[in-house]
Amino acid sequence: MKLGIAICTYNRVETLVQTIAKVRMHTKANYQLVVVDDGSTDDTIERVERLGIKVLSSRNRGIAWNKNRALYYMKVVAKTDAIILLEDDTFPLEDYWEQAWIKAIGQWGHINLAARHWGTALFRDGNGSPEQPYKSEHVSAQCAGFSSECLENVGYMDSRFRGWGMEHVEHTNRLIRAGYGGEPITPIHRPVYYLIDSNLEILHQDESVGVNDSRKQALIAESIEVCIATSRDKLKRDPWINDEEMSVFISEINSSKDNKMFFYLRTDDNMFIAINKNNGRVVFVGESLLFSDEWQGVLSFYDGKSLRLCIERDDEVYYLVRDRPGLSFSAIRDPAASDRFDVVLDKVSGMYLYNQGYYLSCDRSNGNIATIDRSEASDWERFFFSHFRATKSPLSPNFFPD
């Protein structure tokens, strides 16, 4: 069985480094280790890379999204059979700790941690072993195990959980309904979770529980609303809920493989962004004009952190930078010097592109030119990916699908 261990982190580099050291010290099986970073602003990336460990780092999008990055990477890219998902403040204290997790994953498909700081009152039946796990109506997210099979059949956490809260509980409940790692809800009891006893240290226990934190309580309330709203949705779910989320998510994963994804951008009314070959003006046009003599379709490239506009010339990629204060754009080879946009995903569909306090917009009152001067987003600033594909640079010809 091929083992993958993924550590999810955000802005706790010192804690993370300690966790990595303990995992390396005590794990004796062959395994693949990856750190999945949710857009940390400290020196997480540099510190992890100096340790010689692969790190996936993308824009901050919340716990559910980041854990999905970890699970998807381990299942689809690394192709591991068993996945242990650790939070960055949770680490083993004894050798061969992973063996119990491997056994439990193999037997139940999904397993959770019997957190020792709870005491024993919350556990019933079993002895905490892989063969006879504790049964409990409570579940912790600090460490969890997943088989590739359970993810294939049930999928991932729901990306509609934007903050801190119930994302792991809701996912585990779906896994239990499919027969993995517990007993489903009945008229007389809540879902029963299977938990194994594991000698793990959890450094930030109070922060994880969040009992006295009003903000986290508000996020939990929002998460409960998501649970109710999605309770009748299909059991198996992707890491995304619409095409824009899919495109962003796959772009983040592709960035770890040195692949690139390029997209055309369209508006609500099916106008596409294009550049005038004669004067460099960027305008939204109908699809039929994208490859006319006067216009060239503008592509977008998202690397997991920011989006850049670009065009193809002689099978090479050129990136666009606005000639301030004018409305024309220049094409340059250096992506670092081009205009960069944050991708803000709408909760329902579409996305907004944000640059230094302003949104990219189609100015419908001024010849549909592209502007970056609106400080508040509306439907005029909502865009959609179109005609997307993964490719390695340079761009392949015949970009539009047949």
pLDDT for the residue numbered 396: 42
Q: Is the pLDDT of residue 400 over 60?
A: no
The reply to whether 52 and 195 lie within a common domain is yes
The answer to whether residues 95 and 24 belong to one domain is: yes
Helix (H, G, I), strand (E, B) or coil at 335: helix
Note the pLDDT of residue 326.
60
| Domain residue limits at 154 | 3-229
Looking at residue 211, what is its pLDDT? 40
- The residue ranking higher by pLDDT, 268 or 75, is 75
Q: How far apart are CA 205 and CA 104, in angstroms?
A: 24
Distance of CA 184 to the CA centre of its chain: 27
Given 229, 247, 266, which residue is the final one in a domain? 229
For 318-331, the pLDDT digits (tens) are: 999 988 666 688 88
Asked if 274 and 150 sit in the same domain, the reply is no
pLDDT at 188: 62
CB 145 within 8 A of CB 104: yes
Q: Which of 47-61, 68-82, 182-196, 334-348 has the lowest mean pLDDT?
A: 182-196
Contact 86, 145 (CB under 8 A): no
Domain at 172, CATH number: 3.90.550.10
Q: Distance between CA atoms of 111 and 107, rounded to whole angstroms? A: 9
Helix or strand or coil: residue 373? strand
* pLDDT value, residue 189: 72
Q: Give the three-state DSSP class for 129.
A: coil
Task: Verify that 54 and 114 share a domain, yes or no.
Answer: yes
Q: How many domains does the chain have?
A: 2
Look at the pTM and tell me if it is higher than 0.95: no
Do 49 and 126 belong to one domain? yes
Q: Does 239 map to a domain?
A: no
Residue 143 token pair:
């460490």
In degrees to the nearest 10, what's the CA dihedral of 255, 261, 265, 266?
Answer: -120
d(CA 181, CA 83): 14
| pLDDT tens digits for range 50-60 | 999 999 999 99
- Kindly give the pairing relationship between strand 307-313 and strand 316-322: antiparallel
Evaluate whether residue 246 is within a structural domain.
no
What confidence tens digit (pLDDT) does each residue in 90-136 have? Answer: 999 999 999 999 999 999 999 999 988 888 888 888 999 999 999 99
**Where does a domain end: 212, 229, 246?**
229
Residue 208's pLDDT band, with cuts at 50, 70 and 90, is very low
What are the phi and psi torsion angles at 88 (to 5°)? Answer: -70, -10
Q: Which of 399, 136, 167 is nearest to 291 (CA)?
A: 399
